[in-house]
Structures are given as C-alpha cells and as structure tokens.
C-alpha cells in the first residue's frame, strides 16, 4: 500500500507543478501583452514613432493577440475551476476502481 500512496503523492505533485507552470506562463504572456498594448496605444492614439518591427503592430495583430490572451485565461483559470482537484480526484478514483475490478475478473 505504501507504493500506491507514493504514486498518488507523486502524481499530485506532478499535477501541481503543471498547474503552477501554466499559471506562470500565463502571467509572463500577460506582461508581454501589456507592453505590446502600451506600444499599440502609443502608436495609434499619440502618434509616437517606433523603429520598424515595433512600428508594424496594427489592429489585426492586437485583435488576434487579445483573442489568444482570452483563450489562455479560459484555459488556465476557468477550465481549472470546472475540472479542478475534486474532478481529478474523482476521475483517479474511478479509474483505479475500474482497474481493480478488471483485475478481479482475470
């Protein structure tokens, strides 16, 4: 039984690491987006001139980038609320019970 507990603990640690990495990556992406948005607003509304690559940020790029940020937000936070730890624990329990039941019949 000790090995099963170690496995479950390791699995839980892996899930937590994945979750923390996803949230960290989201915040990094959000910070980069904020800088890009500030450059876009400065260019569009205040006429500030930037060097060539940054000066090419247009409305289409910002709309696409905003959609990606919204999708990341849904993926990291909303789906995590729906399929949170309780859901994961229930699914793990179901799968382990199904595996045990299959082994009994063999």
Q: What one-character DSSP code corresponds to residue 56? A: T
* Six token digits for residue 24: 């960290």
Flag residues of the chain having pLDDT under 70: 1-2, 4, 50-57, 98-106
pLDDT digits (tens, 9 = 90+) for 72-91: 999 888 887 787 777 777 77
Contact predicate 43/50, CB 8 Å? yes
What is the residue whose two structure tokens read 């099963």? 4
Question: What pLDDT score does 89 carry?
Answer: 74
pTM over 0.75: no
Question: What pLDDT score does 71 carry?
Answer: 94
Burial of 97 (0-12, 13-18, 19+ CB in 10 A): exposed
């Amino acid at each position: 039984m000790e090995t099963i507990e170690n496995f479950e603990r390791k699995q839980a640690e892996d899930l937590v690491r994945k979750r923390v990495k996803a949230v960290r990556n989201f915040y990094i992406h959000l910070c980069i987006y904020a800088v890009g948005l500030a450059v876009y607003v400065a260019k569009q509304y205040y006429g500030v001139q930037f060097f060539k690559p940054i000066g090419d940020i247009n409305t289409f790029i910002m709309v696409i980038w905003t959609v990606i940020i919204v999708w990341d937000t849904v993926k990291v936070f909303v789906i995590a609320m729906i399929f949170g730890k309780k859901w994961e624990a229930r699914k793990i329990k179901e799968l382990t019970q199904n595996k045990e039941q299959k082994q009994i019949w063999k």
